[in-house]
Amino acid sequence: MDKQELIDVLTKNSKEAQDVHVRAANGSVMKAYYDGVLNALRNSYLLAIELDEPIYKKVTLPKEVGEELDIAKADYAIQDFDLYIGNVIDDSVSIARASNHYYVDSTNAIIKLADAWRYGYTVEKEPVSLVYVSGTNKKFVYNKRGDTSTRMAKLETPVVPSPVTSYETAYDKYKPLYEFTDAEITKFGLQDCEREEVTDDGMGC
Task: Tell me the C-alpha distance between 184 and 182, whole Å.
Answer: 5
What single string gives the DSSP state of each residue in 42-102? HHHHHHHHTSPPP----EEE-HHHHHHHHHHHHHS-TT-HHHHHHHHHHT---S--HHHHH
Do 115 and 132 belong together in one domain? no
Kindly state whether residues 64 and 112 are assigned to the same domain: yes
Domain assignment present for 196? yes
What is the number of structural domains in the chain? 3
Q: Are residues 81 and 45 in the same domain?
A: no
The pLDDT > 90 percentage for the chain reads 12
- Last residue of some domain: 15, 31, 49? 49
- Residue 147 within a domain: yes
Q: For the residues 103-112, what does the mean pLDDT come to?
A: 65
Closest alpha carbon to 70 in 28, 177, 62: 62
Q: Is residue 144 part of a domain?
A: yes
- C-alpha torsion angle, residues 108, 111, 112, 116 (rounded to 10): 170
- Answer whether residue 172 is part of any domain: yes
User: Based on the domain organization, do 146 and 133 belong to the same domain?
Assistant: yes
pLDDT tens digits, one per residue of 22-50: 888 888 888 888 888 888 988 888 888 88
Asked, for residue 45, whether it belongs to a domain, the answer is yes
From 123, 146, 170, give the residue that closes a domain.
123
Are 107 and 139 in a shared domain?
Answer: no
pLDDT of residue 95: 42
Judge whether 54 lies within some domain.
Answer: no
Residue range(s) defining the domain that contains residue 187: 128-203
The DSSP-derived string for 83-100 is HHHHHHHHT---S--HHH
Residue 101 lies in a domain: yes
Rounded to whole angstroms, the Cα distance separating 102 from 97 reads 8
Query: Bigger pLDDT: 47 or 82?
Result: 47
* Model pLDDT, residue 202: 57
Residue 63 and residue 21 share a domain: no
Residue 121: beta bridge partners?
59
What integer best gives the mean pLDDT of the chain?
Answer: 77
Report strand pairing: 140-144 vs 59-61.
unpaired
